Structure formats: structure tokens, C-alpha cells
Amino acid sequence: MIPNELIERIRETADIVGIIGEYVELKRQGADFRGPCPFHQGTKRNFSVSPKKSMYYCFVCHESGDVFKFLTKRLGVDWPTSVKMVAEKSGIEVVESHSRHPEEKDTREPMWEVNGAAAEYFTRILWEDDLGRAARAYLEQRGISRELADRVGLGFAPREIGLMRAHLNTLGFVDERLTEAGLLVVPDGGGELRPRFRDRLIFPIYDVSSRVVGFGGRLLGPGEPKYLNSAESPVFSKGRLLYALNWAKQAARRDERMLVVEGYFDAVRLIGAGIECVVAPMGTALTEDQAKLIRRYTERVYLLYDSDKAGLKATFRSGDELLRQGASVQVVTLPAGEDPDSYARAHGAAGIESLISGSIDLFERKIQLLERGGWFGDLRKKRQALDRLLPTLRATSDPLTRDMYLGHAAAAAGVSRDLLEREMLAPTPKRGARTSGRAPVAAQAREEAVPEIREPADRVRAHERRRTLTARGDVAERELIRVLLHRPAYLEQVAEREGRETFRVKELRQIFDALVEHSVEQGTESLASRLPASAVELLQELLEDTGGLDRADAVLMGSMASLHERSLTDRMTEIDRELPIADERQKDGLIEEKRRLTEELRRLGGRYWKNFRPST
């Protein structure tokens, strides 16, 4: 037998219009699709298919049903076969259960039950209890009506530790189930179970079948984290769910579009304004699974993220993921300082629709921002600009769209289309791989695809040298900071020669900043108080490592020499990557600069350090 939950998933995922449209000529009429009835051989368009209801109906013979029934009636197959046919068309694998007890419940049923009961509790506290007074005032201040709040199921989790637990216990939900669902947690130091959500406005999170699978909680006042989601559980996985998809799925099919916003309130506000085809990830950028979810329901996607730096970063990361799934992605630009919540509150659905009508293609938006920033006017910045465009080119799965993007990027940057296409097709490094130089990660693995003024064997030796210098550089950063911690007399002269940008390891950079501002001579406890926990842990490790300090001069000089070598080879790497996009005059200058750098590396030796002495 096919499990019930799998059948529901197939039904929700299926494109009923597309499947029935293989057998009936359908044309859109309003929110539905009409065609001649295949069951009484009608000639007029009395047969209706509703993507919103996932049902069909004939106004003449009154035949009706879902997509499974249509196939059983139209093709004469049995019901399990029709389910498998729809699953195959929807890209879902059917694994049949051989249980002798078909009446057995889904193992996730207890989680759905306890989450549903908790959602009802939170709603009651919000509207019927004095404990929810502050939350009610907060919603009023934000312009969220009772009708809208009830529509999306808003609630409130009180600060008191034992109330929710006691209430759910009286309903028969034991602590073990509450803990498994993530409603109760064990404090870090041990002790009595306590609620995960306290003093927070609660947003229930539903799956596509409208079952409560988790919660998002927002603090009403100051504190961190401002938003807290349910922990991972058998029914809740943050990267595989989208807030409001249970309401948006049918609207997206009807409207042939999906809007993606950043936050819960953004989605709620748009729903309240009458725009139902809106979802929000429970983070910032979309994951692969979330992009696939969206793609099930529509091809056209509009990104309505904030226009600040973080919002733009999330926009392009989300857009690239959607392009991988074959979506058409548009970016909606909000006025500075606005988000979808504030803008829809002030201007309503008409204002949002006006912004959507002025949206531009994701890749066009990237090029627009780069042009405005002058990135294509300078050789070095042009190389970096192309590195920002290449990930989107690689992510675009539709061949025609990718071809148009290639032509647009080549024209905007003033480079050869063939060269840009070779760069796009070159292999990219594995995620997490370290790179040398200041160049973006994606570009570093392409050194051998970029022409260099070297013989091939020379190029291989240079590549190995750079990789060695990268590893040496990490060690050199650590050793330099270690010596400064134990021999602070060197700090003044080191600070004159090295800036914070020298240190690529974040924690070492943080320690260096603290040393410059507040010397270790004033006490390690005072120094540690200025550092985050991860840097304090490294600081303690470096303070405990006293090996080789009898030759601190040599360790310090060797470390700084390695870092200087690394900076020189970084620039040589950049030159190699700039040469293919340079004109003849620029190439002459780059080759001369590279010759000087090579000579400097050759004569670096001990002379670089001859005037270096610790401060007294």
C-alpha cells in the first residue's frame, strides 16, 4: 500500500492543469481552466479544472474528482496505478508500505498533534489571558488586526516557565513528547525542563498540508536572538520549509508567480493586503530544497528583500539557487529604509504591485549595481566584477537565458564573449577550499585557464609555490600573534609595518586589533574582555604555547617574511587574471609590474629585516 502522507504529498505537488491538459484542451478562464468534457464527449467548454482546489468538475454531466480519479476514469487504470503515474509526472518516488496494519498512524502524527495543541494554547494566551496584554498592544502598534492575526494563527508564549507544560500535560501530552517536538528544552547547565519559547509573539509554521510542524518566536522587546525558530525535529526542518507556503501554493498556481520576502511580518502584511502568493524562508537566502519547493508551484519568482547590504547579498544568493531550478527570477527594489511590511502598510497592495511592475531581471540588477559603482571602468575592479557575475552565469540552468546573460555581461564589461564563456565553463573549486590572494574563491581554481606569461612547467611550479605560501601564511599569522603576546616590546614596530588586513584568520585579526588598542602588558584578562568567545579560546591557546621563544627574533622575522611573500604573490596572481581582459597598453604595464614583483621576491632575503629591532 502507498502511505497516506505520501499520497497527500503527491496530490499537493501535482500540476493538475498540466496533467489533465495532456488529455483535454484547456484554456484559462478567470482563476480556472475550461475545456470540452472528456467523459460525455462534450464540445463546449463546460469542463472546469481548478488549480486552487486541485479538482475538476463538469457542469453538464457533473463528473468531478481529483487528479487520481481523472486518470482512473479517463485511462481505465486502477487507483494505485493512477497515484504512481501522477507521482512520476511530479518527480516523486513511490515506496509502498508492506505493513499488515494499514490503519497504523504515521509515526509523525504525535508531533503534529502536540504542535497543534501548543498553537491553540499560544493563541488563547494571546487573546484571552492577561499575560497576552503586551503582545496585543504590540500587534495593534504594528497595525495587525485580529482578523489577520487569526488568519495566520498568531499566538503568544508567556514568560512563566511552567504554564504551557502544565496545560499540555493535562491534555495527555507527556514531557517526553514535548521535548521531542522541541517545545521543552533542557537548560545548558542541566536542571528542570523549560519552554523553548518565552515572552515571544508566536508564528505557527505549517507544512504544505496545513499541519503545524513548528514555530517562530519574536521577542517583543530588546534582546537576542530577536527571532527564534523551533529546533530540528521529525516534522520540522528549517531549510526544507517555507513560511506561508500552505496559503501561497494555490495562489501561486492561480497567479503564475511567487513572491519571496525575508521575514514573517513581511509575509503576513502582504497576505493581509490580499497578495497571497508570498512565502518567507526561515533565515535569509533560500536553500536548494526551498527553491525546489517554490519551483513546484510556479516558474516566475519575485524577490522582495531589503535593499541594504545584507538584503542584496541574500537576494543574489536566493536568485542563483532559483536559477539552478529553472525559475525566471525578478528583483523588486524597495525604497531605501523600507521593507515589504512597512511599504505595504503605507501603500497597500496597489503599491506593492506597482513595485513589482517595475522589477528587473536578477542578472540585469547585478549588472546595474556594478555599473553604478564604477566596477567596469577600472581594470582591477572589472576583473572582480566579472567574478561576481560568473556564479550567476553558472547557476542559470536554462540554456537560452544563460546565452542572453553571457551576451549582456560581455557587452557591459567590454570583454570577449568567448573568453567569458571559457571562464564560465572552467571548473570551480570545492566549497570550503582555501585560496591564495585576495581574489574570489571561484576565480582561484581557474588559474590554469587564464593565459600567463610563462612556460607551462613554470606555471605549474608557480601554482605549487602559491599553494605552499598560503599554508605558510596561515602559520605565519599565528606565530606572529603568539610572539607579540609573549614579547609585547615588538608590537609598536610590527603595527607600523602590518595592518589588520594582513590577518585572514578572523580570530587572529581580532586579537591583533585588541593588542593594538590595549596591550597585553595591561593584563590578559583585560585583553580577553575585548574579544568574542572563539578568539578568547585561541588567545588562551597561544598564551600557553611558549615553545621557541628563546629565538623570538627569528620566529617573528620569519613570520613577517612569509606574510610579505604572500602579499607579493597575491598581486602576481591578480595580474595573471587581469591580463586576459586588458588592452595592449594595460598589458605592457601589468607585465612590467609583474617583473618588478618577481625581482623583489628574489632579493627579499634578510635585507627586508636588517633594521628591525624590538622597542625598548
Question: What backbone torsions phi and psi does residue 202 show, to the nearest 5 degrees?
Answer: -110, 130
Which residues are CB-neighbours of 422 under 8 A, at least 6 positions away? 449
Note the pLDDT tens digit of each residue in 298-320. 899 999 998 888 889 999 999 99
SS3 330: strand
Q: Are 230 and 214 in contact (CB under 8 A)?
A: yes
Q: CA–CA separation, 527 vs 137, rounded Å?
A: 44
Residue 401: inside a domain: no
Residue closest to 292 by CA, chosen among 247, 256, 240, 252: 240
Note the pLDDT tens digit of each residue in 458-481. 444 444 444 443 445 578 888 889
Report how far apart, in Å, the C-alpha atoms of 507 and of each of 16, 87, 513, 533, 562 are. 54, 50, 10, 10, 19
End of a domain among 189, 207, 236? 236
| Residue 353: band (very low, low, confident or very high) from pLDDT cuts 50, 70, 90 | very high
Note the pLDDT tens digit of each residue in 96-105. 665 545 455 6
The reply to whether 326 and 290 lie within a common domain is yes
The reply to whether 232 and 249 lie within a common domain is no
Domain extent for 323: 245-358
The reply to whether 226 and 251 lie within a common domain is no
pLDDT at 200 over 90: yes
Q: Are 380 and 575 in contact (CB under 8 A)?
A: no
pTM of the model: 0.64
Question: What backbone torsions phi and psi does residue 378 show, to the nearest 5 degrees?
Answer: -125, 140
| pLDDT (0 to 100) of residue 103 | 52
Note the pLDDT tens digit of each residue in 16-45. 988 999 899 998 887 789 999 999 888 889
Residue closest to 205 by CA, chosen among 144, 147, 282: 282
The reply to whether 175 and 252 lie within a common domain is no
Residue 587: inside a domain: yes
The count of other CB atoms within 10 Å of the CB of residue 398 is 14
End-to-end CA distance of the chain: 83
Residue 392: inside a domain: no
Q: Specify the CATH number for the domain of residue 325.
A: 3.40.1360.10
The reply to whether 83 and 126 lie within a common domain is no
Q: Are 20 and 40 in contact (CB under 8 A)?
A: no
End of a domain among 293, 326, 358? 358
The reply to whether 538 and 586 lie within a common domain is yes
Vertex 51 angle, CA 321 and 204, to 5°: 60
C-alpha torsion 254→255→258→259, nearest 10: -130
Residue 364: inside a domain: no
C-alpha torsion 346→351→352→354, nearest 10: -160
SS3 55: strand
The reply to whether 231 and 326 lie within a common domain is no
Q: CA–CA separation, 65 vs 86, rounded Å?
A: 14
Residue closest to 478 by CA, chosen among 564, 563, 565, 601: 563
Q: CA–CA separation, 94 vs 1, rounded Å?
A: 10
Q: CA–CA separation, 258 vs 300, rounded Å?
A: 6
Note the pLDDT tens digit of each residue in 580-592. 877 777 778 888 8
- Give the strand pairing for 278-279 and 258-261: parallel
Residue 363: inside a domain: no
The reply to whether 202 and 252 lie within a common domain is no
End of a domain among 207, 236, 265? 236
Note the pLDDT tens digit of each residue in 397-446. 999 999 999 999 999 988 889 989 988 988 764 443 433 333 333 333 23
Identity of the residue numbered 126 = L
SS3 386: helix
Which residues are CB-neighbours of 586 under 8 A, at least 6 positions away? 379, 578
Mean pLDDT (the chain) is 84
Residue 426: inside a domain: no
The reply to whether 132 and 55 lie within a common domain is no
Q: Specify the CATH number for the domain of residue 600.
A: 1.10.860
The reply to whether 476 and 572 lie within a common domain is yes
- The lowest-confidence range among 198-207, 280-289, 386-395 is 280-289
Put residue 361 in one of left, alpha, beta given phi > 0 → left and psi -120 to 50 → alpha: beta
Residue 437: inside a domain: no
Residue 301: inside a domain: yes
Q: Specify the CATH number for the domain of residue 39.
A: 3.90.580.10
| pLDDT (0 to 100) of residue 369 | 93
Q: Specify the CATH number for the domain of residue 118.
A: 3.90.980.10
The reply to whether 186 and 330 lie within a common domain is no
The reply to whether 144 and 81 lie within a common domain is no
C-alpha cell at 335: 525604497
SS3 227: strand
Note the pLDDT tens digit of each residue in 3-17. 877 888 888 888 898
Maximum separation of any 2 CA atoms in the chain, in Å: 101
- What's the domain count of the chain? 4
C-alpha cell at 353: 504591485
| Residue 455: band (very low, low, confident or very high) from pLDDT cuts 50, 70, 90 | very low
